[in-house]
Amino acid sequence: MFTDMVGYTALAQGNEALALELLEEHRRILRSIFPRFNGTEIKTIGDAFLVEFQSALEAAQCALEIQRTLAKRNHDVSAERQIQVRIGVHIGDVVHRNGDVYGDGVNIASRIEPLAGAGGICVSMDVERQIRNALEARLEKLAPTELKNITVPMDLFRIVLPWERQSKAEGGRKKEKKSANGSRFPASRLAWVAALVLVLGAAWWWSTQSRRILPSPARASSPQTVDQKSIAVLPFENLSDEKQNEYFADGVQDEILTDLAKVPDLKVISRTSVIRYRTGAARDLREIGQQLGVAHLVEGSVQRSGDRIRVNAQLIDARTDAHLWAKTYDRNLADVFAIQSEIATSIAQELQANLSPNIKAAIEQPPTADVVAFDLYTRAKTLLLDVGFSGYKKGIDMYNRATELLNAAVARDPTFFLAYCQLARVQGEVYFFSIDHTPARRGMIEEAVRNAERLRPDAGETHLARALYFYHGYLDYDRARSEVQIATGSLPDDPQVCLLTAYLDRRQNRWNEALHNLQKGLELDPHNVYVLRQISLTYQILRRYAEMVAVLDRALALDPTDIDSRIGRARAELHWRADTQPLHKTIHAILASDPSAAGNLADWWFDLALCERDPSEIGAALAAISEAGVRDEGLIFPRAYCQGMADLARSNSSSARAAFLKARAEQEKAIRDQPEYGAPVCVLGMIDAALGRKDEAIAEGRRAAEMLPVTKEPINGANVMKSLAAIYALCGEKDLAIEQIRTTLEHPGDLSYGLLKLHLYWDSLRGDPRFEQIVASLAPKDAALTAK
């Protein structure tokens, strides 16, 4: 039995408080009736119930009692406070899974319910046969109606309610009396007008039902903003006995999503945003659809046993929770890739998307013929979903593990094209983020790209891999941009295309375009906190701190536990207002709940401690730093350097010198490993400045700025410019330092009011009127904000 509260959406849009009050009363009334007829509530779906019964008669009797109770309740209630429901009942086989039910029985019941009308009950012919001689009410056959995606013809019936017959009789007597008193319209004409009104009303009802969206506090979206051909593929439930097959279920879902994303007509939400809706938690499909801003959802399950596999998938209208299409596939495991293609094709056709021969061929092309290789690939992709959320140290481990899995996948299947594309991405990010910025690593990127080109030279994924190669490996933004533009044509719904375009915009000083493309990526991946952090980082670099804070608040609304968002929100106060307390409190709150997080907090914690000049904090932060050192964007400082800075801050100059000498030896090795990269040279300049090797430090800082110019690399280049200013300051060259600070501030970057006001790098400049004027010019202009 499906029940649905009539008019709830319209009421909620006009009077949300009253809507919620009536919704709760409606639920209390219905829940008090279900047990009296042995009804088992399966789930609520917004303002609807799905209920299971042991017999058709009990279901029909329950439906009658619900409508009788509500009719009595509504008798003396104003129209706006009335509660009316539609009820649909059908007999059919269902499958129970983790407290929910699936199958054609559910799908048909959901199609019948809207035909009941307000305050009515509609039943299928199978139910009618069971209850025709046992129910107190009469059943009336409906006009033939085609149920969408239900191919077997089906007669439908409405239960004529006793009080409904009485009401009609009274209405007829009134009409006869009015006609006898000289009405200008005879009863037959009044009946014709009433019929016309009913037809128009039905048409209006169907049109409003096709646009229904429940209001959601998570995302305020009007029905007009939802694309009719927008869709999200929710994580598939793993019904296999072996829990390790969960990755396999993820792979099935991801391939269906990837296939649908190849269809230009469709807007497909990225996997990062749907992974939070795993089947372990109760799903309110209307709520999910509204949060993701889509009209349709796909959900399903995968059951793998030996060499057999069962895949169940269904397409749902997220606005009405109506089931539009469903199918179960029982086949050999080797057919899993054909199943994925068939599901994607069926869904695209159901949504009336245009499937060109090329698109259809792309969807039908299996990712691999090796199921084990596919499982390895899926595990790697799942790891890479989280790598941006994991912190620097944990991120290195995840990159290494993903590389192992992908290498194992291509070892099993040397023709596994998509695995090579993922390898190109992983190796490129390891190189680009200075985890291993060596010629050998760049060679690994090139090898993965060459293998992708060998297999599918014209594929969109190949062009995207080439774009990443030019971007990560050579900072060749023009060639990367030309490749990503080609990739856009065949990867219309891949957020990575939008994000890479935005990153290229940032590197080419197209900041407004970068924000625009990041926003486009967010539309395809609305719950991706990493993308929100990238938007906030862009605002930080532009020193637009109010907008940075607003974006991070949005990220925290999605995931209040995300460490990087919490830290970023607190660091904004340090940069913007020179206020260290929010970051101090945030770091210690995280440590109090998870002491193991210290290593991932070390980069920010140590920098904060140097700003606060608290010896105990400096010592605690230093203890959290691993041998890998700390990271400041593309600059990686050895742990020994941090030890030296801690000793300087605590006025222990002899220990500081020993630490800096150790750091220098380590950094010289890093330069030998990365001879063409300016970042390690810049760090060596900082070490030499701390050692008092003035000439060497200045020469190294200037050389680094030439190797990594801000014109070629705006983000890391600006960081090198800031470091050169710090080298001048540490070497006592005040004039050069102040001039370099001014030059640095002419470019977007993270040199800020808070860092200049608080960090010990600038202590030698304090008291100089020129420096103090620069600092004052960066202070927040709003006095209230400054006071806060």
- How do residues 238-247 score in pLDDT, each as one tens digit? 888 776 677 8
Residue among 5, 137, 126 nearest 65 (CA): 137
DSSP 625: -
Is residue 281 located within the same domain as residue 294?
yes
pLDDT value, residue 166: 47
Of 653, 595, 586, 656, nearest in space to 620 by CA? 595
Q: Tokens for 512? A: 């407004």
CA 377 – CA 383 distance, rounded (Å)? 10
Compute the Cα dihedral for 125, 129, 133, 135 and give only its sign.
Answer: negative
What is the per-residue pLDDT for 282? 58
- Kindly state the average pLDDT of the residues 354-383: 92
Render pLDDT for 191-222 as a digit per residue (tens, 0 to 9). 444 444 443 444 333 333 333 322 332 333 33
Lowest mean pLDDT among 18-32, 311-325, 600-614, 770-784: 770-784
pLDDT at 45: 81
Write out pLDDT tens, residues 754-777: 999 999 999 999 999 999 999 999
The answer on 467 and 322 residing in a single domain is no
For residue 227, CA distances in Å to 211, 266, 269, 733 come to: 11, 9, 12, 60
User: 757 CB contacts (<8 Å, ≥6 apart)?
Assistant: 578, 775
Residue 201: predicted pLDDT: 44
Supply φ then ψ for residue 209, to 5 degrees: -65, -35
Judgement on whether residues 294 and 396 belong to the same structural domain of the protein: no
CATH number at residue 389: 1.25.40.10
Give the count of alpha carbons within 13 A of 712, CB side only.
14
- Min mean pLDDT across 108-122, 386-400, 450-464 is at 386-400
Q: Does residue 268 form part of some domain?
A: yes
Q: Does 680 fall in a domain?
A: no
Top-confidence residue, 127 or 744: 744
Q: Are strands 230-233 and 267-268 parallel, antiparallel or unpaired?
A: parallel
CB-side neighbour CA atoms (13 Å) of 379: 20
Average pLDDT over residues 448-458: 96
> Which strand (E) or helix (H) includes residue 775?
helix 769-778
| Element counts in the chain: helices (H) and strands (E) | 35, 17
The strands making up 121-124's β-sheet, listed across from edge to edge, are 40-45, 48-52, 2-5, 85-89, 121-124, 156-160, 138-141
Per-residue pLDDT at 309: 92
Residue span of the structural domain in which 112 resides: 2-160
What are 677's two structure tokens?
């990269």
pTM of the complete model beyond 0.85: no
- pLDDT tens digits, 567-596: 999 999 999 999 999 999 999 999 999 999
Tokens of 130: 């069971």
How many CA atoms lie less than 13 Å away from 682 in the CB half-sphere?
28
Q: Cα(713)–Cα(541) distance, rounded to whole angstroms?
A: 13
Where does the pLDDT of residue 151 fall: very low under 50, low under 70, confident under 90, or very high at 90 and above? Answer: low
Tell me the pLDDT tens digit for each residue of 475-494: 999 999 999 999 988 888 88
- pLDDT confidence of residue 677: 87
User: Between 573 and 9, where is the model more confident?
Assistant: 573
User: Which stretch, 115-119, 434-438, 775-779, has highest mean pLDDT?
Assistant: 775-779
Do 303 and 333 form a contact (C-beta atoms < 8 A)? no
Most confident range (mean pLDDT) of 54-58, 277-281, 340-344 is: 340-344
> CB within 8 A of 390, min separation 6: which ones?
398, 600
Same domain, residue pair 286 and 338: yes
More confident residue, 153 or 173: 153
Same domain flag for 392 and 250: no
Token pair of 191, please? 């009946």
- Assess whether 487 and 356 both reside in one domain: no
Is 614 among the domain residues? no
Q: Hey, what amino acid is at 151? A: T
Q: What is the reported pLDDT for 275?
A: 87
Q: What is the CATH number of the domain that holds 14?
A: 3.30.70.1230
- SS3 at position 314: strand
Residue 655, domain member (yes or no): no
Instruction: Write the pLDDT tens digit of every residue in 66-108.
Output: 999 998 898 888 888 999 999 999 988 777 777 777 777 788 8
- Would 786 be classed as within a structural domain? no
**Domain termination site, one of 492, 512, 530:** 492
Whether 398 and 345 share a structural domain: no
Residues 286 and 432 in one domain: no
3-state secondary structure (DSSP) of residue 157? strand
Q: Could you tell me if 30 and 86 are in contact, meaning their C-beta atoms sit under 8 angstroms apart? A: no
At 712 the pLDDT is 85
| Shared domain check, 6 and 123 | yes
Directed axis angle between helix 598-612 and helix 581-593, to 10°? 150
CA distance 154 to 92: 13
The answer to whether the CB of 618 falls within 8 A of the CB of 610 is yes
Report the run of H or E that residue 670 belongs to, with start and end: helix 653-673
- Label each residue of 484-551 as H, E or C: HHHHHHHCCCCHHHHHHHHHHHHHCCCHHHHHHHHHHHHHHCCCCHHHHHHHHHHHHHCCCHHHHHHH
Give a yes or no: residue 611 inside a domain. no
Count CB neighbours of 490 within 10 A. Answer: 20
**Amino acid, single-letter form, for residue 473:** G
Q: Are residues 488 and 478 in the same domain?
A: yes
**The pair of three-digit structure tokens given for residue 316, joined into one six-digit string:** 């749902």
Instruction: Give 651-708 pLDDT, tens digit per residue.
Output: 888 899 999 999 999 999 989 988 888 999 999 999 999 999 999 999 999 999 999 9
In angstroms, the CA 599 to CA 623 distance is: 9
The Cα 528–Cα 645 span in angstroms is 37
Q: Identify whether 174 is part of a domain.
A: no
Per-residue pLDDT at 8 = 81
Same domain, 362 and 380: no
Angle, in degrees to the nearest 10, between helices 694-707 and 714-730: 170
Give the mean pLDDT of the chain: 86
Q: Is residue 648 part of a domain?
A: no
In sequence order, which residues have a C-beta less than 8 Å from that of residue 698 and are 6 or more positions away? 685, 689, 727, 728, 731, 733, 736
Residue written as tokens 């698109």?
359
Predicted confidence at residue 434, as pLDDT, reads 81
- Tens-digit pLDDT profile for residues 505-549: 999 999 999 999 999 999 999 999 999 999 999 999 999 999 999
- Output the six-digit token pair for 542: 């532009």
The per-residue pLDDT for 153 is 63
Q: What is d(CA 388, CA 531) in angstroms, rounded to the nearest whole number? A: 9
pLDDT band of 717, cuts 50, 70, 90: very high
Tell which of 366, 386, 410 closes a domain: 366
Mean pLDDT of 300-325: 90
Q: What CATH code is carried by the domain that includes residue 310?
A: 3.40.50.10610
Neighbours of 729 (CB within 10 A): 24
Number of domains in the chain: 3
**Rounded distance between C-alpha atoms, residue 506 and residue 481, angstroms:** 12
| Euclidean distance between CA atoms 137 and 135, whole angstroms | 5
pLDDT score, position 164: 64
Q: Are 136 and 64 in contact (CB under 8 A)?
A: yes
Last residue of a domain, one of 332, 366, 400: 366
pLDDT confidence of 279, banded at 50, 70, 90? low
Same domain, 10 and 86: yes
Q: Are 708 and 721 in contact (CB under 8 A)?
A: no
